[in-house]
Amino acid sequence: MDITILFKGIAVGFLVAMPVGPIAILCMQRTISQGQIYGLIFGLGVATADAIYGSIAAFGVTFISNFVLQKQFWIRFFGSLFLILLGSKIIFQKKSIEPEGTIKKTNLFNDYTSSLFITLTNPITILIFASIFSWPRLNIGIDEIDYKSATLLVSGIFIGSALWFTILSVLVGFFRNKFTPLYLKWINNISGIIIIVFGLSMLLASFLKF
């Protein structure tokens, strides 16, 4: 068992999480409106989903990956609807910036599960992980590693993804006190519109591929 595979997993998780999309926008919106802890919990939900898809690719669970890819139309369909509804909710919500010390366990759970669901509704993530694992420079060789090494790899993916969203929420949190309720309204409107656009584009892409 090679411990370096853990660091390779961290690099992969960080790399997959970095692209700016609806997930990153939601993480920033949560951090600004509700506080840094909410952004962190939201990011943990994403990291969990990345680890799940990473484990499917790393452990070579062919049945599950084939099922997910075969049903990707419906998975992406419901995921896109969820994004559209979530974006609409953000636009029409009437919330001020909550004090940093105000932590509601229900909201934390909702943020975790919503980010987990949104990330899982992108089945292409499996293909992304499989593609990254095949990069010669990473030299992971997932077809040859044992279960202990695969577990290290998946753990690294979780850590890497969580690390990126921790950095993102901390950076956004530094500027949180600079936002007035008016700025927050604009942020919510812009974030909601972008998320709706992502949802609509994903919905359209699903029908075009169907």
Cα angle: 18, vertex 24, 26; to 5 degrees: 170
- Give domain status of residue 107, yes or no: yes
Question: What's the pTM?
Answer: 0.73
Structural domain including 40 reads 4-71+103-180
Q: What is the dihedral of CA 65, 68, 69, 71, to 10 degrees?
A: 160
- pLDDT higher than threshold 90 for residue 138: no
- Give domain status of residue 191, yes or no: no
- Give domain status of residue 81, yes or no: no
Pick 107 or 140 by higher pLDDT: 107
Tokens of 118: 């949104």
Average pLDDT, the chain: 76
DSSP code per residue over 84-109: HHHHHHHHH----PPPTT---HHHHH
- pLDDT higher than threshold 90 for residue 9: no
Residues with Cβ within 8 Å of 35's Cβ and at least 6 positions away in sequence, in order, are 98, 99, 100, 102, 103, 173, 176
Number of structural domains (the chain) is 1
Tens digits of per-residue pLDDT, 178-198?
766 666 677 777 777 877 887
